[in-house]
Amino acid sequence: MAYRCRECGFQSPKWLGRCPGCGSWESFEELSEGPGSEDEQGWIGGQVLALPQVEPPPRERLLSGLSEVDRLLGGGLIPGSVILFGGEPGIGKSTLLLQIAGELAARYGRVLYVSGEEAPGQVKLRAERLGIGEPELYLLSEQHLLRIGEAIKRLRPVALVVDSLQTVVARPGGGDIGGVGQVREAAARLAQLAKALSMVCFLVSHITKGGEFAGPKTVEHLVDVAVYLEGSREGDLRILRSIKNRFGSTNEVAVFQMGERGLVQVPDPSTFFVPRARAARPGSAVVPVLEGTRPLLVEIQALVSPNMGYGPPQRRMAGLDFNRVLVILAVIEKRLGAHIGATDVYLAVGGGLEVREPAVDLGVCAAVLSSLRDRVIPPDTVVFGEVGLAGDVRPVRKAPERLREVEKLGFRRAVVPPGPVPKGVSLVVEQVGSVEEGAQALGLV
Ligand code: TYD
Ligand code: MG
């Protein structure tokens, strides 16, 4: 006799009121015994093989046709691999995956796109909008795993997209649709199928801003690769980020722009967020931030203006960590004697990017001071560094890589924290240990 949690699959020899696996109440049900059960069949199926008998998986990677996606994944898609594709609703997951599915179908033949959320007609409309008309792209509107599995076995596609995991019913009556148990079982079974049939398998997963709910975290261990599509729905910028990759490095990013015809890749994002012919204006500072292993140049824009006296001073920011910026503003007030406590401060990151790295701190300082003093930071100068509560400027990771990148992009001068400077850069590197020194170096005192 055994019992299993309906929600998460946790098994126990005795019935429990509360599941130790997921904390659900009264979720245990008796497991059917006997050799006929599906679980046991699956369990017995494995075959012991001597190493020389084992066939290596196909080594050729498939190319998605989107070179940035291929680069992010470590050089293409490995047949039999399972890729978790997360992101908030409406961010563009279905769009990007339909584009990838279309490209794969054009190059390699049959691709199956399963939608549990949209009717085939809706997917077709999107395909038309994206200019996809591949005869080898097959659509299926289905939620039941069993029937999805049947379609896969019949069609034998080279690639499969399941949009989304949260709509798949793995076990009728086995917990809520979209619940942890269903999602996890669906992912596990689809992964088995992908391996058995050497098929590339994309599993779409919705996540909320917090990243909680029956989401990707509960299935990440089941997949080979996990990528997340991020960006603000208001802006047109999208970043695809790899969180896990069994076949390549993680924390890589690929940048896209959402347009009339889907997502268009931005192959050289390092200059994308800073207009090339940037007229130097007060309130603007350029910072090389690290997104994954790649430095990206971003423009921090600040506007400091007198409060009109109707209500408390405004603090508005886009793309930056609100609380962190408040601390930096307090540091500026205290260390530099700049009176911004009663003024309105607006901050934004050019291009709509979200920057969460501490290296941006000194850039925020510089942009605010530049606007406050109405003095321009020379356009050939970049600045980065973490700012501590005492006004100290602290080292950040991969400073040499950042310096090399900005040099390549034609900058002449960098105001940075103390630390090693790479050999052979022709850049003028000014190391500053405090915000006071930083302001001095930039001519903003
Ligand atoms: P979608 O791929 O449906 O998002 P998700 O699957 O992550 O929920 O994309 C949603 C948004 O993208 C929608 O608001 C419309 C917009 N969009 C474009 O701007 N251009 C396009 O070519 C397409 C297909 C969608
Ligand atoms: Mg969708």
pLDDT tens digits for range 331-367: 999 999 888 888 999 999 987 778 889 999 999 999 9
- Does 297 share its domain with 342? yes
- At 35 the pLDDT is 42
pLDDT at 278 over 90: no
Q: How far apart are CA 436 and CA 445, in angstroms?
A: 8
What integer pLDDT is reported at residue 28 of this predicted model? 82
What pLDDT does 40 receive? 44
Reference 216, options 241, 247, 249; nearest CA is 241
Q: What's the gap in Å between 91 CA and the centre of ligand 1?
A: 6
* Same domain membership, residue 415 and residue 344: yes
Give the residue-averaged pLDDT of 55-62: 78
User: Does residue 102 line the site of ligand 1, with CB under 6 A?
Assistant: no
Q: Which ligand is nearest to the CA of 116?
A: 2
Averaged pLDDT, 400-416: 89
Q: What is the pLDDT of residue 8?
A: 73
> Which band of pLDDT confidence, cut at 50, 70 and 90, is reported for residue 33?
low
Based on the fold, state whether residues 215 and 263 are members of the same structural domain: yes
Residues 213 and 171 in one domain: yes
Confidence of residue 209 (pLDDT cuts 50, 70, 90): low
Cα separation of 9 and 185, whole Å?
A: 8
DSSP 360: G
Residues 24 and 89 in one domain: no
Residue nearest to atom 12 of ligand 1 (CA): 92
pLDDT tens for each residue of 358-367 = 999 999 999 9
* Closest to 186 measured CA to CA, from 82, 79, 32, 44: 82
List, in sequence order, the alpha helices (H) in 337-434: 361-373, 399-408
Average pLDDT of the chain is 88
The number of domains in the chain is: 3
Tally of CB atoms within 10 A around 153: 11
Sign of the alpha-carbon dihedral angle for 135, 137, 140, 145? positive
d(CA 316, CA 120): 43
441 lines ligand 1 (CB under 6 A): no
Judge if 88 and 237 occupy the same domain: yes
Q: Tell me what pLDDT residue 81 has.
A: 94
Contact (Cβ atoms closer than 8 angstroms) between residue 203 and residue 84: yes
CA-96 nearest atom, ligand 1:
2
Q: Are 105 and 148 within one domain? A: yes
Range of the domain at 239: 63-267
Dist CA 279 CA 143 (whole Å): 54
pLDDT at 364: 97
Angle (nearest 5°) at CA 247 between 242 and 252: 25
- Residue 356 Cβ contacting ligand 1 at under 6 Å: no
90 ligand 1 Cβ < 6 A: yes
| Cα 269–Cα 275–Cα 279 angle in degrees, nearest 5 | 155
Query: How far is C-alpha 84 from the geometric centre of its chain's CA atoms?
Result: 11
394: number of Cβ within 10 Å: 16
**397 touches 313 (CB < 8 A):** no
89 and 219 assigned to the same domain = yes
Above 50 in pLDDT, residue 201?
Answer: yes
pLDDT band at 34 (very low <50, low <70, confident <90, very high): very low
